[in-house]
Amino acid sequence: MKQIIPEVKQIRKKRGYTKSFSGVSLSAGVPFGKEAEEILHLKLWNYEELECGHDTIRIILRNLEDARKLPDVCMELHEMEGSIPEESAELFSRQGYLLDITEDEVRIFTDTQEGFAYALSTVKQLLEGGEQFYLPQICAADWPSIEYRSLSVTFAWYAGYGRFGFDMQLWGLKEWKQFLDICSDYKMNQLNMCLYGYWPFRMEGYPEAELRGLKMKLWNPESENWVEVEYMHPNLAEEFLPQLIEYGHKLGIRFYAYIGLNSYSGGYSNAHKEKRMKMQKDSHFINDFDSLCLSDEGTVQYLKKSMRSIVSQGFDGIDFEESEEAFWYCNCERCRETFWKGCSTPEETLHAANTWLLQILYEELKAAKPDITIGIRAWRQPPLVRPEELIAKMKASIPDDVVLFWAPGQYVEESEFEKWIHAFGRERIRARDTEAIGFAAGLGRLIRPLKCNGLRCEEEPITQYIDEDIRQHKGSVRMHAAGINGYLFEWYGFFMAFFAHAYYGWGGEKETEEFYRYALETVFGDLADDIYFVMTNMFTIHESQLNIFELEFPFAKNKVEKRDIPRIQEAVRLYPDLMQKLDHIIEELRSDKRHYEFALHFKKWKISVMRSRIIYDMALESLKFEEAESEEEKQDCLRRMYLDNEREFEIIRENYFDVNPVLETGTASCMIPYHELKRCILNRLYPDKKQERPVYLGVESLGWMWF
């Protein structure tokens, strides 16, 4: 019998298999029969031939009460249902199902559309055969351990502030629907769609806040030159977001707008710079561009109008994020008289202002949609360990029905998370500090989801990796939290994080390394060994980790040292093997009609490996530069690094869309380190022509400089 992700709670194999079949039919004796027909159609997105096959197997859909009444239901099924733990009974009734596969029928018992969709997900993964299919005869009882299993994904991420768009931010309706199909197949049921930056939807009355008409330069390989174009978000070019949300709802997937609580709220603060918060004249902080002065009535009206526009898209909830930048606050006279009053630090002032704003936006959202769920990601700065008295004050500062999309998990004992569970209640905890692929997505398309992929990751102060996400998910299940959330700010190349969120959110218990193997074997079959080899042998040095790179980058603080030479040399040796295996994996997946969509993940891996091979040369050259005794030797090293940097950028510009600095804020920013590295090299080669203005590596890194 085939393996399944996530694992079914209780499953027993009977003897034999079903008859062979080439089609399916549905007999639905439930109140949602019409909806069930559509769900079956949607679930066959990558098995379309089963909708028109002649030798059919019947899917019998009945409610849970029928399973208890029908005389021919497998006795083991009754035993399974009877053994469901009392604390899981409610989740089983809402999202669970019983499954009985006999020689002639697939019998599904559930009371909900969600349960039916999840049962079909299991059946799909059990399918065997080719033109003719068959299933193992089994009986199963299944339900999730966590009610809300969400992914934080990017619809627009710092768009117009630090970039224009990459990965899923460039998708249209077709690609997003496929992603929802995959989410449903692995039983995820919520997307928190990041809307940071210029709004990717129409904003009546504030067209300047929309993600359209921004100038950018694209590489034209035909004539090898840069062409200036005006960019428009795909959803503004042809609106599809409401349709996408409707599609997801049919599969039981909820949608939350993941937005800043007065940070990166549309393009308003770029179009109206006078509306921004005011820094002290002698301030050294540089990101004064993302937050609006709340003492200006016009900005508050704009934020309220933004909430109305977001609700009109069809979202089920809002996930507010408080800015990481808590080390300064608006210094204007009115803010000094109001929000600063009674506060001794900028952080206290930020929380006071945000508490005030949250209440205003809460009321606006509830007026627009009374049943909307509102959540918040807050209190993420030090102190990381908080006394119970302080947690009680935090709880009292927000409305009782506001849920939490952040709770402790990194850098603290598990007992800190338990404090929050007891204070806020498990039903309000929807997520923890599980942001591995939020941080990994900040590395400019290089791949570093695992500790083994990076430069001495065990020494890094930030410990956001997949194994840490897994540890926290297990803790959430153990404490019966209402939800888990996994960051997936970059999809291509980071499928293992997706599998982990799906597996552990449902209640999986495997140890981390065992899970990696299990997931690869389950999804990719015979390719699993090659994929595991590449996954665990990819070695990523971020360009900022070269000693010549002067700008601080908190997501990769370790610098290349002499002790790293053996690891670099081993990576150089393995390079041909990695490339050969990746070419084979990509070729096989492109011809696999069940998993063809994963081929692009390995294309991303291949590009990262190709770039890394050049970065190894730059890393070794940077060490030679440090050891060089003469100025002539140093100059030679710099010239070689300059040429290597250009070679790497050739790969980047040929394969990626958004690769040049964004200047709209007044602070140059680009996730691709090429531009800043080039500046560092040229400044040393030609000190008399110094370029003073740095190109920061993504505005998302600025709030983490304290690390």
Assigned superfamily of 148-510: Glycosidases (3.20.20.80)
- The alpha carbon dihedral of 417, 495, 167, 211 has a sign of negative
For CA atoms 498, 183, 140, 521, give the dihedral sign: negative
Q: Minimal CA–CA distance to 648: which of 672, 680, 621? A: 672
State the Cα–Cα distance between residues 587 and 602, nearest whole angstrom.
10
Closest of 427, 436, 412 to residue 483, by C-alpha: 427
Cβ pair 669, 699 in contact under 8 A: yes
Q: What is the pLDDT of residue 699?
A: 86
CA distance 699 to 694: 12
Torsion of CA 674, 680, 685, 686, to 10 degrees: 110
Give the integer Cα–Cα distance in Å for 298 and 301.
5
pLDDT of residue 706: 52
Please give the Cα distance from 23 to 52 (Å, whole number).
Answer: 6
**Are 145 and 507 within 8 A, CB to CB?**
yes
Whole-angstrom distance, CA of residue 484 vs CA of residue 410: 15
Contact predicate 419/404, CB 8 Å: no
Q: Tell me how crowded residue 208 is: count the other CB atoms within 10 A of its CB.
A: 15
The pLDDT score that the predictor gives to residue 704 is 66
The burial of 510, by beta-carbon neighbours within 10 Å (0-12 exposed, 13-18 middle, 19 or more buried), is given as middle
Strands 56-62 and 403-404: unpaired
How far is 376 from 394, CA to CA, in rounded Å?
12
Q: Is 574 exposed, middle or buried (0-12, 13-18, 19+ CB in 10 A)?
A: middle
Give the closest residue to 659 by CA, choosing from 611, 707, 692. 611
Q: How far apart are CA 51 and CA 317, in angstroms?
A: 35
User: Residue 359 has which token pair?
Assistant: 């209440």
Angle at 590 between CA 584 and CA 596, to 5 degrees: 125
Give yes or no for a cis peptide into 383 (omega within 30° of 0): yes
Q: Are 293 and 335 in contact (CB under 8 A)?
A: yes
Which pLDDT score, from 0 to 100, does residue 118 have? 99
Class of domain 10-142: alpha beta
The pLDDT value recorded for residue 705 is 61
> Angle CA(285)–CA(290)–CA(291) in degrees, nearest 5?
95
8 A C-beta contact, residue 332 and residue 274 = no
Contact 256, 191 (CB under 8 A): yes
Amino acid at 63: N
Q: Which residues contact 264 (CB under 8 A, 6 or more apart)?
A: 158, 161, 196, 197, 290
DSSP H stretches of helix in 591-630: 599-627
- Cα R_g (the chain), whole angstroms: 26
The DSSP symbol for 292 reads B
Residues in the chain: 707
Cβ-Cβ contacts under 8 Å for 77 (sequence gap 6 or more): 67, 98, 100, 109, 139, 141
With a cut of 70, list the residues of the chain below it in pLDDT: 703-707
Domain regions of the chain by residue span: 10-142, 148-510, 531-704
- Answer whether 501's CB lies under 8 Å from 484's CB: yes
Measured CA to CA, the distance from residue 599 to residue 524 in angstroms comes to 11
Q: Packing angle between helix 466-478 and helix 512-524, nearest 10 degrees? A: 100
CA angle 327, 155, 292 (to 5 degrees): 35
pTM more than 0.75: yes
Nearest to 115 by CA among 177, 63, 41, 46: 63
Q: Which two tokens stand for residue 632?
A: 């002539």
- Distance separating alpha carbons of residues 543 and 670, to the nearest angstrom: 13
CB distance 524 to 538 below 8 Å: no
Please tell me the predicted confidence (pLDDT) of residue 342. 93
